[in-house]
Chain A
């Protein structure tokens, strides 16, 4: 029982990789759902009226103050109680998406608020509907501001998906525990699991970095051609003029 046994990891690599693949699947689906719902939530928060506002603040406060594992248990044990019988995987993905949507929604809302109000107005003034203004004028400008916080949030999403192991979803953490049950070698198991989580997070960060560079490129090209423009990158009107 002495020494770190790499052969154990090699023997169980297929199992761990299956788990990692499941984690990737869960994360991608949850990300799409959570981000989509986050957009809806963020847009709802701009509607006038007390009802959507009260609903959204309740939603946000509740989701952001309850640990994810509790939300998961409530959904997992609550849905059958309410007469819905869904697979554990579906329930897990829905719970994770729902939970994360509060966070993505907050990020998206902050990015919209940070845009000058005149951007929306000038789109409306030329006759665009609110939806057209969002699609053609607001959304494209959000990409740059959204990328860094969304990346962080998505790294958290990857890590939080490990909680789904508690409801028998065969993702990475779950398979790590299966391996541990078979080998009684927790150190090897969880070191391997950690390595795989690191790889998933590093891959995600790498992709995000590429996207960030590309989003900045169009503007950077124009700035490079113009030294004056480079001096006020922030689009502010320069305060001192000569």
Chain B
């Protein structure tokens, strides 16, 4: 069990309107790894993340989370689609931080983090709030707990989105261009936070254009092009 990769993608392909966007991707991400994914615009990075997070059904291929099938199950030669309910149960294992963050504007920062714990993991409000406050303290958000999302800076919103994902104790965190919507001075802040998550042992896949980050924090660098992985090599960060 412990030998199973946190994320395993096998032969994953996805087309939109007949145009192949992701083609026969194989990828294993092991516990504690920090993978930076880089590639030109439109090469399928977001689509690969979305398929891995079960937000998009791949046309072909398999996804496994900690050794458990996610989306499709193999029974000998037969391939069975999992029910939406089965997939919903697995989803909290993957924390997804969207490029647009998608915080819920009608809830305070704290409630953005509390709500999924209560609804999905059935934690009590008190437990959930305690977990949220602990995360907010770690992420330097304590003073902002009661603010609504639009009253927060870009970097603060980013941290709320990360706290929302972390609160569900995911096995894997995935980020889609976490710095692209930020002011340059906030980029360093977010990179520092990703670095501290990495040193805390969090398994992460990060789509980024920050070569600086890829070189210094990631253990592994994946270059994508035209829907395929064209290079997969250790990054300099791996010698940290």
- Residues on A lying within 8 angstroms of B by beta carbon are 116, 118-119, 121-130, 132, 136-137, 140-141, 218-219, 222-223, 225-226, 228-229, 232-233, 235, 237, 241
CB atoms of B116 and A127 under 8 A apart:
yes
CA distance A232 to B153 in the complex (A): 12
Task: Count residues of B near A (Cβ-Cβ below 8 Å).
Answer: 34
CB atoms of A119 and B104 under 8 A apart:
yes
Residues of B within 8 A of A140 (CB): 106
- Shortest CB-to-CB span from B173 to chain A, Å, is 12
Given contacts A118-B100, A121-B98, contact A126 B168 (CB under 8 A): yes
* Chain A: CB-nearest residue to B105: A235
Most buried by B among A126, A128, A137: A126
**B192 sits at the interface (CB 8 A):** no
CB atoms of A127 and B150 under 8 A apart:
no
CA distance A122 to B96 in the complex (A): 8
Secondary structure call for the A interface: helix
Contact of A222 among B53, B103, B115, B147 (CB under 8 A): B147
Residues of A within 8 A of B183 (CB): 241
- Shortest CB-to-CB span from A233 to chain B, Å, is 8
CB atoms of A125 and B84 under 8 A apart:
no
**B188 sits at the interface (CB 8 A):** no
Given contacts A126-B168, A127-B116, contact A232 B150 (CB under 8 A): yes
**Looking at the complex, which of B19-27, B87-95, B229-237 is the stretch in contact with chain A?**
B87-95
CB atoms of A126 and B92 under 8 A apart:
yes
**B211 sits at the interface (CB 8 A):** no
Contact of A125 among B89, B91, B148 (CB under 8 A): B91
Contact of A132 among B89, B96, B119, B151 (CB under 8 A): B119
CB atoms of B150 and A126 under 8 A apart:
no
CB atoms of A125 and B120 under 8 A apart:
no
Q: Can you give 6 A-B contacts (C-beta < 8 A)?
A: A121-B102, A124-B91, A127-B89, A127-B168, A222-B150, A225-B151
- Shortest CB-to-CB span from A141 to chain B, Å, is 5
Residues of B within 8 A of A226 (CB): 147, 151
CB atoms of B96 and A125 under 8 A apart:
yes
Residues of B within 8 A of A129 (CB): 84-85, 88
Residues of B within 8 A of A118 (CB): 98, 100, 102
CB atoms of A141 and B106 under 8 A apart:
yes
* Chain B: CB-nearest residue to A142: B106
